[in-house]
Structure 1
Amino acid sequence: MSGNLDVVETIDAVVEYAGDAYGAGDGAKYLSHDCFCKLRLSIDETDQFDGAKKYLDALRSTDPRDDKARIEQTNGGLLKDSYVWILESPEFITWRDESESGRLLWIRGDPGKGKTMLLSGLINELQPLTRLDGAQNSNTISYFFCQATNSGLNNYTAILKGLIYLLAIQHPTVVSHLDDKHDKDHWNSEVSLERTFRKMVDDTTPGEIYLLVDALDECVKGLPLLLALISSMSSRAKWIVTSRNRCEIEELFGQTSSNVALSLELHGDSVSEAVNSYISYRTRQLADRKKLKKSTAEKIHDHLSQNAHGTFLWVALVCQRLERCRAWEIPSQLVQFPQGLNQLYAQMMDQIRESDSCDLYMSILAVATTVFRPLTFAELIAMESLNIDEETFPDLIVECGSFLTTKGNTVVFVHKSAKDFLLKESSNLLFRSGLAQHQYDLFQRCIAILQNLHKDMYGLFYPGVSLHEALRNCPNPDPLDNLKYACIFWADHMQEAYKLFVQGEIIDDFHGADTAHDFIVEKFLFWLEALALCQNLSTAMKALIILRDLLGVSIQTSHMSQNCL
């Protein structure tokens, strides 16, 4: 702990301290002074491309078009009969036809009612009339799908970046609003992003501008700013947003006469008809895949229709589980599924508890529930220290009930309600030593994984290689594949653990600052290199600030303890 006071004083002291520990000569050769300057300013190195691509690269943390495609694929495709009813609803017609009284359409409803697929369907209906479908069109569309379980999709900054990204694709000339700034940290500034977004919307002419945002309630950071933005800009653009029934959203949207609210509960008959169409579609799929008799398919359809109660998600989960059954098992399994999402989740959890691999499945669910973004197969295998190939890993995820699914090589929750159930109803099963200890364990696992960091991870040999060149010559497989999450989020888990230890008044059991300090001394430059290759160098500043604050608290606590002796 002798270096702690140096670390606490300033971030520069940490840099110099770690550089000395690394070896001044090697540090000077391998990590240029320019890298230290970038760290102090919290600026990522960016690709040196021409024109608008610089800005698009800086903005593109995710492409909303890819997110839309993944969501539809996860739900078994987008069925037009499941959303077409909304096109004839009075609320949508008012939004579509009225120039003043319907600039914002707010679609609200309980979990599992199909809000996301409704919005996806509306995008499909509107997009052919916009420049996203062809430069000859005068209208513009931009959209974003929030996801509370993904730190890259659950905040105001990410939403603005996604909306700006699609606007810029359709109107390259609006890049002039992006000034000279195209580094990624500039685009992490809420003020800069909002100012740019407003300018782009104001100058995007002619035609209508359609802005659609799904799951406002899943914006866990900056929701008040997002609601204020939507309300203040409803006169310039036509918005469609969805959310669960939330009081704070209703209070703000209810203050403006140009807002139109569509409650799915008040359109229960239309939603039920849409769910029945979805049931017919999924039943046909199941019958074709399993080669079921007509009588069996009819029993499935009838049972689903009688028990769905207007909830798409319940139907999707039951059909997903029936797909794992043999054809002759389906009739007996079908009647065992309880009504209601929470009851179905509870049954899934009971089945996991009865499994011979219960501890493994519970551990995977616990990690998935508490990470800051969905993990790739390689990252989750590393976090769990599993001896398993990535090719067979999806089979393991299938065994975790139906709480999780896969998108490409990433493990995600089937729905936010699944994560909510685990946190509220099963936390005592997932976190047997308490949530604070679990977060501390995740931090420790991250640090253990990062012990694999070493000098020149990509075998570049020459330290002056540009980031673009380094990424273009990335080894296959990428040696950072299983390290990326730990590189970026280890300090967040340490901070979360500390907060929970403080809340539980068990701070004496927290030794994370010591572990983190040792890591910084031993692996600092290697960690910086890895962050640069992950295009996330600015994370270093955030992590060091967290470490500085926690070390300061640790030192003060230590001094207080000594004074009491």
Structure 2
Amino acid sequence: MCGRSTTTLASIVQDPSLKSIYLIIDALDECKANLDQLLDLISQTASTSTRVKWIVSSRNEPNIEARLRFDHTQTRLSLELNEAHVSRAIEIFIDFKVSKLRLIEDDGELQETVRGQIYAKANGTSLWAALVLKELEPVESWVILDVLQDMPPELEPLYDRMLRQVEQLQRKDPEFCRLVLSTITLAYRPLHLLELGVLSNLPRQISSNLDKVVKVVNKCGSFLTIRRNRAFFIHQSAKDFLLERAFNRLFPSGKADVIYTMFSKSLEIMSKTLRRDIYELQDPGLPIEMVEPPVPDPLAVAQYSCLYWVDHLLDYHRRHTTKDVIDGGYVHRFLRTSFVFWLEALSLLKSLPNGVVIIMKLENWIKVSYVADLRMLVGSAVLSKMKFDKNPELHAFIHDARRFAVSNRSIVERAPLQVYCSALVFAPENSITLEGHTDWVMSVAFSPDGKQVVSGSNDETVRLWDAATGALQQTLRGHTDDVASVAFSPDGKQVVSGSDDKTVRLWDAATGALQQTLEGHTDDVASVAFSTNGKQVPTLYVSGEWLVEGTTKYLWLPTNYRPTCEAVWSKIIVWDMRQGDYHFFRFNNG
């Protein structure tokens, strides 16, 4: 959370329209990621800007004190040196919370006794008081003093008591709580309750129901709190206790099992959730600034997985190996079927730069693993007798995925659905995404549901592709000359192709079977299309950096593909580029 928060705060303090800015950060010491960047931002703006005021609380940690560089422009308040004020604040807090204990609200004498015992045992620790008061909320008046008496006077014994209570719950509740606590402990950020339910591998009847996940979280003692449907530790010390003092109770088989579950569940969530145009935007050129997440948000359950699945994969593989990272393994299958969907989701989450980093991290890890294995085999007779790269298809796909993501980051970040348009059309040269035809591709069209692409080529074939991954599905053979035009039927069940062999052919889009050959033309067939119920032919033109159909931005054009002039005929637009090359684009309603 700290990394993105630092970027956001930097944008705020640099905004000239804000005359006075007051920023408050509590528990700065609990920020783990990019803490140095945040400390530098605070230090620089506090000493150079009169518009920005910071109020920061933290434990006394040397690195924080050193980076903040206190001087005459800053005020430092040490709680240890103001113990009387702190104690009075804790007393006021205890008074207020005791008055709100519903089961003793009519018994003033009992309230006073409870206050006195909490004052005495809290010993100036507000967190201890808050945890005990939360534990007392459901306790009946006639046993409240006995329960309070059993409360240990220090935090660590109190946490131990809370965990023992969780372990003594009935039936399967202790295991459900263990799954939840272990998952939150290893998560890279606080989890949405829907994310938590799935990543912790709770039963489906619980994980799919927000209210039921809340019930499980509430059974986890007072270790967790819920804010805006996200689960947080009540305090960093609670997480530290579970990881350091209660590790074997939380992870009886070690952390590896939980890490692997978080990785595998992430791939499962994304595979089931991600799809083309998940927000149903429909407009390929719609800028990200105009995108409003639908309610309910279909990406809510998959957000964490989209950003951290590779981190959990690498965490697991540092000490273990699986068959997930091999040709045809779990990772390879996910990338083949959902890679482009994943990029769209990252763009919608405004996290596409993270996606590029994720792919690069995965590729670098594979390279390091490759070199390590190679060093083990150097000098061995085995090396000369084997094909060393054991997973060439996966490695090639990840390499290509990285090139694809880097090349198209700019436009996909601005308009998410361009990942299916400009990104595929202008993919890097020699990309796996475009390989298959052996001659020029003359015509391309999407199926009505956007799941398939059909292409016609001068190699005399028609090919059907998976629109999400670029994987070849069918090669349709039968034409004896260049295929000049292809189109889908409005229902997506048929493909029509026109060729310089003077024939039109109808194909089954599902099986690739030839259904009919239409003969009779005396010259090349330059264009084919299905009837579209009498609707007008789309109007095509280039506007700046976009190819526009009607009023819809359809295809973003990279800088070196933007025309100096263009001409339109029927459904075909021709444009020339500054290099002197010509490009033909045939628009098909299908």
TM-score range, shorter chain: 0.5 to 0.7
- Alpha-carbon distance between aligned partners in 2 of 1:251 and 1:166, rounded to the nearest angstrom: 22
Change (3 A) 1:429 1:229: same
Distance 2:371 2:40 in 1: 41
For 1:223, the equivalent position in structure 2 comes to: 35
Q: Does 1:321 align with 2:140?
A: no
Cα contact 2:40–2:68 (8 A) shared by 1:
no
* 1:360 pairs with 2:176: yes
Tell me if the contact between 2:194 and 2:213 (Cα under 8 Å) persists in the aligned partners.
no
1:436-451 matched pairs, under 5 angstroms? 436-451=256-271
Cross-structure match for 2:26 = 214
1:425 aligns with 2:245: yes
The residue that corresponds to 1:528 in the other structure is 343
Tell me the alpha carbon deviations over residues 140-190 of structure 1, each in whole angstroms, 9 at most, x when there is no partner: xxxxxxxxxxx2xx23x523523643774xx52x6xxxxxxxxxxxxxxxx
Matches within 5 A, 1:138-153: 151=1
1:539 corresponds in structure 2 to: 354
2:98 maps to what in 1? 283
Give the superposition deviation at 1:230. 3.7
Query: 1:308 & 1:216 partners in 2: Cα distance?
Result: 23
Match of 1:370 in 2: 186
Letter in 1 for 2:280: L
What does residue 305 of structure 2 align with? 486
Is 1:234 aligned to 2:47, yes or no?
yes
Query: Distance in 2 between the 1:258 and 1:534 partners?
Result: 39
Amino acid at match of 2:99: R
Separation in 2 of the partners of 1:222 and 1:261?
A: 23
Q: Is the 8 A contact 2:159 2:238 kept in 1?
A: yes
Of 412-421 and 450-459, the range deviating more from structure 2: 450-459
Shift of 1:245: 0.8
The reply to whether residue 397 of structure 1 matches residue 213 of structure 2 is no
Larger radius of gyration: 2
Match of 2:234 among 375, 389, 414: 414
Give unpaired runs (5+ residues) of structure 2.
Answer: 383-590
Higher relative contact order (CA 8 A, sep 6+): 1
Matched residue, 2:126: 312
Report the AA paired with residue 29 of structure 2. D
State the Cα deviation string for residues 205-249 of structure 1 (Å, max 9, x = none): xxx765543333233233334434444442544543221011122
- Measure the CA separation in 1 of the matches of 2:213 and 2:139: 20
How do 1:43-122 residues align onto structure 2 when only pairs under 5 Å count?
none
Correspondence 1:266 to 2:86: no
Asked if structure 1 preserves the Cα contact closer than 8 Å seen for 2:306 and 2:342, the reply is yes
Deviations 1:108-130 (A, max 9, x none): xxxxxxxxxxxxxxxxxxxxxxx
Question: C-alpha distance in 2, partners of 1:236/1:531?
Answer: 35
Tell whether the 8 Å contact from 2:42 to 2:68 is kept in structure 1 after alignment.
Answer: no
Residue 535 and residue 159 in structure 1: after superposition, are their counterparts in 2 closer, same or farther (change >3 A)? closer
Secondary structure of 2:352's counterpart equals coil
The alpha-carbon distance between structure 1 residues 323 and 520, as it changes in their structure 2 partners (threshold 3 A), is: same
- CA shift, 1:477, in A, is 3.2
Over residues 243-276 of structure 1, what are the superposed CA-to-partner deviations in whole Å (9 max), with x where a residue is unaligned? 1011122334566454443211121122111111
Using the size of structure 2 for normalisation, the TM-score is: 0.57
Secondary structure of the equivalent of 2:231? strand
Structure 1 alignment gaps of length 5 or more: 1-150, 175-203
Distance (Å, rounded) in 1 between the aligned partners of 2:257 and 2:371? 23
**C-alpha separation in 1, matches of 2:339 and 2:323:** 22
Secondary structure of the structure 1 residue equivalent to 2:47: coil
For the 8 Å contact 1:458–1:475, the answer to whether it is kept is: no
Deviations along 1:448-494, whole A, 9 cap, x unmatched? Answer: 2222045325373846152559844x554333221221112111212
Partner of 1:7: none
State the AA in 1 paired with 2:109: S
1:336 and 2:150 equivalent?
yes
- Whole-angstrom distance in 1 between the partners of 2:58 and 2:183: 27
Q: How does 1:106-185 map to 2 (within 5 A)?
A: 151=1, 154-155=2-3, 158-162=5-9, 164-165=11-12, 168=15, 172=17
Higher helix share: 1
Aligned-residue sequence identity (percent) comes to 31
1:357-383 alpha-carbon deviations (Å, 9 max, x no partner): 222111100101111111112111221
| Cα 1:448–1:315 shift into 2, 3 Å | same
Query: Alpha carbons of 1:330 and 1:494: their partners in 2 closer, same or farther (altered >3 Å)?
Result: same
Any conservation in 1 of the 2:176–2:216 contact (CA below 8 Å)? no
On the 8 A contact 2:103/2:139 being kept in 1, the answer is no
1:243 counterpart SS class = coil
| SS of residue matched to 1:281 | helix
Specify the SS of the correspondent of 1:335: helix
Find the aligned partners of 2:83 and 2:54 in 1 and give their Cα distance. Answer: 23
**What secondary structure is seen at the aligned counterpart in 2 of 1:327?**
coil
Aligned length: 369
CA spacing shift, 1:249–1:429, aligned 2, 3 Å: same
Give the secondary structure class of the aligned counterpart of 2:225. Answer: strand
- Cα displacement (A) at 1:555: 2.6
Q: Which letter maps to 2:343?
A: L
Residue type at the aligned position of 2:184: A
Distance, in Å, in 1 between the alignment partners of 2:21 and 2:262 is 44
Distance 2:181 2:21 in 1: 41
> Which residue in 2 is equivalent to 1:180?
none
Checking the alignment, whether the CA contact within 8 Å between 1:487 and 1:531 is kept in structure 2 is: yes
How far off is 1:290 after superposition? 4.6
Q: Is the 8 A contact 1:458 1:470 kept in 2?
A: no
Secondary structure of the equivalent of 1:224? helix
Q: 1:486 to 1:294 in 2, by over 3 A?
A: same
Aligned-partner residue type, residue 212 of structure 2: T
Amino acid at match of 2:275: K
CA-CA distance at 1:424 after TM superposition:
1.6
Aligned to 2:59: 244
In structure 2, the CA distance between the partners of 1:532 and 1:354, relative to structure 1 (3 Å rule), is same
The Cα offsets for residues 57-81 of structure 1, whole Å up to 9 and x where unpaired, read as xxxxxxxxxxxxxxxxxxxxxxxxx
In proportion to residue count, which structure has more strand?
2
Q: Secondary structure at the match of 1:261?
A: coil
Matched AA of 2:298: P
